[in-house]
Structure 1
């Protein structure tokens, strides 16, 4: 009986294993790294096995530690979900909802989807991490993520996150007055364009469709950005032609700051999806957000 681990010790070990860092695990649990180190030392001494390999610069799981984590992680998830599920008994749901999404998704949907959800559920803490790199939401401690459908692992549950997206080339009236307008997608090779670089380091090839055939154009330009907001500002300032989601430039098009180009060749993207692990119990904040998103999608279809 003496060599049994407590639930707190299991949670501490799982947090350290998830981050492979005493400092990050301590920040997550709001304690000091030395507290976690002491707890792990006591656990290892009591069970007579080393679970972690520690150096001054790194932390790694031993073979026994890896096997132990695989056994306890599902049980910890179930216990955490069971506690979170108690929120449904409250009149006002509480808890934290952590979402990861591309910056473009946050910009497109913050005002009319994400912020209204937070205002409707004031006792839910909404935390959004926006970046364009690929993130393992389970390892990084997120409840759900947002990505394009073809980027989502098959073992995840996914539902539409807003309507299908259209990509469109845009430029300012001043730019068009100075350089003219491209008539075909290939003409873009002769115009200064605002290029996009992905987090992977690759430059984006602009996508069009002609007679049901998809085209990719490796545009050129001496301004390279990775953020929709700055691309819109640069295009409005006549710095080049930009290629963006139509929804993100809707206001600039309506006010005449930007003009749509090559509209007959614009392509419809598959759209974004909210995805999350298929657990038996969903945390209450995530369950309410899924319901909110489904209502949002239905309303958009009516409009």
Structure 2
């Protein structure tokens, strides 16, 4: 059997099924002359006439009908196998590994991942919640999440949600015993709930108003390494917390926390998904980037 025989046999079957060279050519996306040439070549190689051809009709000869009975099931099975193989291209698979701060996971990433998994059930997503400044390339991650100011210059960054804003908060019970600060300078007399980064440094609170920027190294009796713990400590009346606004929005709405120095807490660029290079992007990451370009409702943080 020659390499061209399979294609010519499929052409013969299409002509016999349609009873027309013109209709079969349209189905196969080839010219009528090309189809006629293919059939003549097949008949020449086999040494037998397969189709009766007149100006009005096309019908299988006895030899053609016998051949058609044998090859039709095989051609149908081949078409089904090719279609099944193509489905692997359409069904995305593999693993997407993302490194992200815990706050980013909760505020913006997890709602997007839930949507992504619903669209691509064949993909496995692995998220490492990590507040350290991990080198995502060296650690084998496909992408990472950082706030804009901490992005490396050689990385490609895509916005992950909108701008962020910090909120200085306290419980009513704390404010009943300590006067509310009116200016960042007043924080020196308060019990501030401080945050330590994995590298060992303490976060210095950042404020801005009317073109004036302040970075305050606050003091206080409690140091934590997680914003959720800081929120809980603030709810317990242990001091002032300086956390992402979305982390405490629900508590502000119920009055369990009170917001302070609101005009000193401007917006700043939010989280970005970042990755190295535009070439050879893994298919799961490319699909996730496509998701980020789709319009979607703003994620709602869980208190």
* Per-residue CA distance 1:190-209 (angstroms, 9 max, x = gap): 11010011122111111111
Query: Which residue is equivalent to 1:53?
Result: none
C-alpha distance in 2 between matches for 1:260 and 1:154: 35
Query: Are 2:108 and 2:160, in contact at CA under 8 Å, matched by a contact in 1?
Result: no
The TM-score with structure 2 as length reference comes to 0.67
User: 1:122, CA displacement in angstroms?
Assistant: 1.9
Query: Which residue is equivalent to 1:143?
Result: 142
Query: Which residue is equivalent to 2:196?
Result: 197
Query: Which residue is equivalent to 2:294?
Result: 295
The TM-score with structure 1 as length reference comes to 0.67
Query: Which residue is equivalent to 2:239?
Result: 240
Query: Which residue is equivalent to 1:262?
Result: 261
C-alpha distance in 1 between matches for 2:253 and 2:116: 27
C-alpha distance in 2 between matches for 1:254 and 1:271: 23
Q: Which moved more, 1:105-114 or 1:245-254?
A: 105-114
User: 1:110, CA displacement in angstroms?
Assistant: 4.2
Q: 1:102 to 1:279 in 2, by over 3 A?
A: same
How do residues 112-131 of structure 1 correspond to structure 2 at under 5 angstroms?
Answer: 112-131=111-130
* Per-residue CA distance 1:233-288 (angstroms, 9 max, x = gap): 11111111000110111111112211111001113222111111114222111111
Query: Which residue is equivalent to 2:207?
Result: 208
User: 1:90, CA displacement in angstroms?
Assistant: 3.0
C-alpha distance in 2 between matches for 1:272 and 1:133: 15
Larger Rg: 2
Query: Which residue is equivalent to 1:222?
Result: 221
Q: Say whether residues 1:187 and 2:186 are aligned partners.
A: yes
Query: Are 1:88 and 1:284, in contact at CA under 8 Å, matched by a contact in 2?
Result: no
* Per-residue CA distance 1:26-49 (angstroms, 9 max, x = gap): xxxxxxxxxxxxxxxxxxxxxxxx
User: 1:111, CA displacement in angstroms?
Assistant: 4.5
User: 1:114, CA displacement in angstroms?
Assistant: 2.3
Question: SS of 1:90's equivalent?
Answer: helix
| 4+ runs deviating over 6 angstroms | none
Root-mean-square deviation (Å) = 2.1
Paired residues in the alignment total: 215
